[in-house]
């Protein structure tokens, strides 16, 4: 299959491909999504096949306007409307109980709930509008690997497997959206996946408690939202997390074991360890925002480095704000393994 690169001037052509059941990757402010019509089961089945994604992993439905959600959800609560008014378009996914048979079961993973998001990217909003149907949009990569934050990343993983890629440049945030479960109208809202919209922001808007579910699903359990599996976002090269105070010991340990090491970190740590490492992916600055934006690109770049690395060491951040989203992804990429000095 030939994979075509679409630009701003060819959105209508990309939309026509989607309307006919083809697959087109699209940019968002978070990561690139692999688009297919959410109303065409055969198209959605192709998404699972192309990604190598487990079929019990539900998909997020992307809409171009909040009003589109009403076709699938009865009686949106005042809380839901408030969140949509405040954060849409933006990196917030909301899970609702849906009308029976309003979406193909292949989209929902067989659940009675579905996740919805309105992405904050003008090209993709135009794409959804011109396709005249909502789109599923899981990350446009091989399942389980680092998510794509540029059209080049999508091309690397999926060229020859999908009809096209809408090139919208590098993504602005770099980690997937916050997923908030509102499927129980009488219950407390629960974050199933942290993202750029933090727990504190949601609580400020809602003026009520928001819970954070740290539960990771087992192999035989159906996840309610994407990204809840134990190991995810992982490159082929082993990843290990390093606390700020442990870098000298971690570098000494790696040298003693003759490991060729790559490092993902901000400028302060990168400069301190540069002479002792084989390759470095340096975040723009020392902030968690820069780390989140660069994490997936960094994992990909070091994994594919000509230095043939044995190990990737990654900087950690406090789990607050977008730092919580960064650490959520990094922990899964590292299979929850930290460097320990007595290793």
- Do you know the residue count of the chain? 343
What the block records as the tokens of 259 is: 């490991």
Is 147 annotated as belonging to a binding site?
A: yes
124, with CB counted inside 10 A (0-12, 13-18, 19+), is buried
The SS3 of residue 239 is strand
At 197, which helix (H) or strand (E)?
none
All residues at 6 or more sequence positions from 180 whose CB lies less than 8 Å from its CB, including other chains: 83, 92, 93, 94, 95, 189, 190, 191, 192, 202, 210
- Residue with tokens 């089961």, as numbered in its chain: 41
Distance CA 65, CA 68 (A): 6
Is 62 annotated as belonging to a binding site?
A: yes
Is 159 annotated as belonging to a binding site?
A: no
Among 46, 73, 169, 178, smallest CA distance to 117 is for 178
Distance CA 340, CA 343 (A): 6
Is 177 annotated as belonging to a binding site?
A: yes
Is 193 annotated as belonging to a binding site?
A: yes
259, with CB counted inside 10 A (0-12, 13-18, 19+), is middle
Is 342 annotated as belonging to a binding site?
A: no
Backbone torsions φ then ψ of 93, nearest 5 degrees: -105, 135
Is 113 annotated as belonging to a binding site?
A: yes
Distance CA 113, CA 109 (A): 9
Distance CA 135, CA 59 (A): 10
Is 124 annotated as belonging to a binding site?
A: no
Order of strands, edge to edge, in the sheet holding 211-212? 4-6, 164-166, 24-26, 33-37, 135-136, 60-62, 113-117, 92-97, 178-181, 190-193, 211-212
Residues within the annotated binding site for L-threonine? Answer: 30, 62, 117, 177
Residues within the annotated binding site? Answer: 30, 53, 57, 62, 113, 117, 139, 147, 177, 193, 233
Residues within the annotated binding site for ATP? Answer: 53, 57, 113, 139, 147, 193, 233
């Amino acid at each position: 299959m030939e994979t075509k690169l679409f630009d701003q001037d060819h959105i209508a052509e990309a939309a026509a491909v989607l309307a006919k059941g083809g697959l087109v990757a699209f940019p968002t402010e978070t990561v690139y999504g692999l688009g297919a019509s959410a109303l065409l089961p055969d198209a959605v089945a192709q998404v699972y096949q192309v990604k190598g994604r487990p079929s019990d992993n539900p998909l997020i439905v992307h809409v171009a306007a909040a009003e589109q959600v009403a076709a699938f959800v009865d009686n949106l609560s005042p809380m839901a409307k408030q969140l949509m008014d405040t954060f849409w378009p933006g990196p917030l996914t909301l899970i609702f109980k849906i009308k029976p048979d309003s979406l193909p079961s292949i989209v929902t993973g067989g659940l009675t709930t579905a996740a919805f998001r309105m992405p904050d990217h003008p090209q993709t909003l135009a794409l959804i509008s011109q396709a005249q149907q909502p789109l599923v949009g899981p990350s446009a990569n091989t399942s389980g690997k680092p998510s794509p934050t540029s059209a080049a990343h999508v091309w690397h993983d999926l060229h020859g497997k999908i009809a096209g890629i809408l090139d919208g440049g590098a993504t602005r945030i770099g980690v997937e959206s916050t997923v908030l479960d509102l499927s129980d109208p009488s219950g407390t809202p629960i974050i199933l996946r942290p993202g750029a919209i933090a727990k504190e922001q949601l609580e400020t808007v809602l003026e009520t408690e928001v819970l954070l579910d740290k539960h990771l699903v087992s192999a035989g359990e159906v996840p309610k939202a994407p990204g809840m599996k134990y190991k995810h976002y992982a490159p082929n090269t082993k990843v290990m997390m390093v606390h700020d105070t442990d870098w000298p010991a971690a570098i000494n340990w790696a040298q003693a074991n003759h490991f060729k090491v790559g490092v993902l970190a901000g400028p302060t740590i990168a400069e301190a360890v540069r002479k002792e490492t084989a390759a470095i992916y340096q975040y723009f600055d020392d902030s968690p925002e820069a780390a989140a934006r660069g994490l997936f690109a960094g994992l990909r770049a070091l994994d594919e480095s000509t230095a043939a690395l044995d190990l990737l060491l990654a900087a950690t951040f406090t789990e607050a704000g977008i730092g919580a989203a960064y650490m959520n992804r990094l922990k899964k990429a590292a299979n929850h393994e930290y460097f320990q000095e007595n290793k």
